[in-house]
């Protein structure tokens, strides 16, 4: 285990449910001796990757890492524009929205806008979600070829719920539908009780792809409201696509325009 691999492993320990970590916790999670873990965490803190909370005992991600996401956001016009659109949609709709990116077969959020409704999806995708079982993931997978998706999910997976894709065949089938309608939808899958609509947009110049997503509590959203979310999200995604020059949306612009 190189220092770099251990460092990344430590960072992967953090999640929405674990915002700080101790030497013993990390040693247990990484299956490393306490001595190494102690030195590793201290070295990471000295390097600015982590910071200690009180005097010294618990570690959490440091300013360097927290600032990185922010500076990337303002440097990437795609994320920036997508975020602006999501912010506008959230203000209009009241449900939670976020912008996500894919890393291998997982997706994680990069910006987040809590909804204004009393009941809204609170915890964003702080922890990476499996790309096959969330709307954001499938919206981005739909931009790849079937062969690429097969390569990404060579191993079978345990279904996360009854409504989630059970195997690669069902996933590919659902991706075909995503390509046809322009958006991906999840219903009570990786996030239980949560429904989500997502559209993916790519910037040809930088090779980035992001997903714009609106997530809502299934119980409170009517069919009409769902249609409205889809309409607004498609329009927003088209706006972003036009700004960054995403050919996929330009060619489908008219076909995707819903009648109502």
- Stretch near a copy of itself under the rule CB under 8 A, chosen from 107-115, 144-152, 180-188, 225-233: 107-115
Residue recorded with tokens 């050919």: 247
Q: Is 109 in the site for a copy of itself (CB under 8 A)?
A: yes
Task: Indicate the residue among 49 and 198 with the shorter CB distance to DNA.
Answer: 49
Residues 6+ apart with CB under 8 A from 253: 238
75 sits near a copy of itself (criterion: CB under 8 A): yes
Does the protein bind a copy of itself through residue 45 (CB under 8 A)?
A: yes
Map tokens 């409704």 to a residue: 117
Q: Which is nearer to a copy of itself, 170 or 205 (CB)?
A: 205
Contacted entry of DNA, a copy of itself, none for residue 35, CB cut-off 5 to 8 Å set by kind: DNA
Asked if residues 236 and 99 have their Cβ atoms less than 8 Å apart, the reply is: no
* x/- track of binding to a copy of itself for residues 174-213 (CB under 8 A): -------------------------------xxx------
Strand 106-113 to 59-61 pairing: unpaired
User: C-beta of 10: minimal distance to DNA in Å?
Assistant: 11
Question: Got the DSSP string for 109-174?
Answer: EEEEE--SSSS---S-S-S-EEGGGSHHHHHHHTTS-HHHHHHHT-S----SSTTS--SHHHHHHH
Q: Which does 23 bind (CB under 5 to 8 A by kind): DNA, a copy of itself, none?
A: DNA
Q: What does the DSSP assignment read for 160-218? A: SSTTS--SHHHHHHHHHHHHHHS-EEEESSSSTTEEEEEEEEEETTTTEEEEEEEEEEG
Among positions 17, 145, 154, 224, the unique one binding a copy of itself when judged by CB under 8 A: 17
91 touching a copy of itself, by CB under 8 A:
no
By three-state DSSP, how is residue 68 classified? helix
At closest approach, how far in Å is the CB of 222 from a copy of itself? Answer: 28
Write the DSSP symbol of residue 2: -
The binder of a copy of itself chosen from 29, 36, 38, 51 (CB under 8 A): 51
Please state the closest distance from residue 74 (CB atom) to DNA, in A.
24
Name 192's Cβ contacts closer than 8 Å, sequence gap at least 6. Answer: 161
Shortest Cβ 129–a copy of itself spacing (Å) = 10
Return the one option of DNA, a copy of itself, none that residue 42 interacts with (CB less than 5 to 8 A, by type). Answer: DNA
Contact positions vs DNA (CB under 7 A)? 1-4, 6, 22-25, 32-36, 38-43, 56-58
Of these, 35, 70, 148, 220, which contacts a copy of itself (CB under 8 A)?
70
């Amino acid at each position: 285990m190189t220092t770099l691999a251990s460092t990344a492993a430590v960072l992967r320990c953090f999640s929405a449910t674990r915002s700080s970590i101790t030497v013993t916790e990390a040693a247990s999670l990484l299956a490393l001796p306490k001595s190494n873990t102690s030195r590793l965490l201290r070295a990471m803190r000295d390097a600015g990757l982590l910071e200690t909370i009180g005097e010294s005992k618990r570690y959490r991600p440091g300013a360097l890492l927290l600032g990185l996401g922010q500076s990337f956001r303002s440097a990437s016009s795609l994320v920036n524009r997508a975020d602006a659109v999501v912010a506008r949609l959230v203000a209009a709709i009241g449900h939670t929205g976020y912008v996500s990116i894919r890393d291998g077969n997982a997706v994680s959020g990069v910006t987040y806008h809590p909804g204004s409704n009393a009941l809204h999806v609170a915890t964003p995708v702080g922890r990476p979600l499996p790309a096959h079982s969330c709307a954001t993931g499938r919206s981005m997978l739909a931009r790849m070829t079937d062969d690429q998706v097969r390569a990404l999910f060579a191993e079978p997976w345990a279904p996360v719920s009854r409504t989630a894709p059970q195997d690669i065949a069902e996933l590919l089938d659902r991706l075909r539908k995503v390509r046809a309608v322009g958006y991906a939808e999840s219903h009570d899958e990786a996030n239980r009780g949560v429904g989500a609509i997502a559209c993916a947009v790519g910037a040809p110049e930088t090779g980035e792809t992001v997903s714009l997503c609106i997530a809502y509590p299934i119980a409170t959203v009517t069919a009409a409201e769902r249609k409205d979310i889809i309409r607004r999200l498609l329009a927003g995604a088209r706006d972003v696509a036009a700004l960054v020059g995403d050919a996929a949306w330009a060619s489908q612009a008219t076909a995707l325009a819903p009648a109502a």
